[in-house]
């Protein structure tokens, strides 16, 4: 079982920690979760929405705080036209293979 939770739903760090623990609990042993954030170190508001940018270290720490082991962590460029200079950090975290 796996979950995908894009940055549109994981903006504030406090929200991610709380939500991450619930997601970790809901995953079967060995289950995985994917998350991605725009790369950076700021929290900003745009169009009435709160965005949290994240570094590789910050995203790894969030997964750790939720009880998920980071399986893969990467940085990639934005593929959308006109946003070639924007970078994203993504990760896959997994639960232990046995027990909750």
pLDDT tens-place string over residues 18-68: 676 777 778 888 888 888 899 999 888 889 988 889 999 999 988 888 888
Q: What is the pLDDT of residue 88?
A: 95
Total domains present in the chain: 1
Domain CATH for 12: 3.40.50.150
Whether the Cβ atoms of residue 39 and residue 53 lie closer than 8 Å to each other:
yes
Give Cα separations from 51 to 1, 12, 27, 28, 60 (angstroms): 27, 7, 26, 29, 18
Name the pTM for this structure.
0.74
Any idea of the CA torsion for 49, 31, 41, 65, to the nearest 10 degrees? Answer: 110
- Domain ranges, residue 23: 2-94
- Cβ neighbors of 98 (< 8 A, separation 6 or more) are 29
């Amino acid at each position: 079982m796996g979950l995908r939770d894009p940055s549109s739903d994981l903006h504030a760090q406090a929200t991610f920690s709380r939500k991450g623990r619930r997601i970790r609990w809901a995953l079967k042993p060995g289950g995985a979760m994917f998350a991605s954030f725009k790369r950076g170190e700021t929290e900003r508001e745009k169009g009435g929405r709160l965005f949290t940018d994240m570094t590789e270290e910050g995203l790894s720490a969030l997964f750790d705080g939720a009880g998920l082991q980071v399986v893969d962590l990467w940085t990639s460029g934005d593929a959308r036209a006109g946003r070639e200079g924007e970078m994203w950090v993504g990760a896959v975290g997994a639960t232990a293979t046995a027990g909750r």
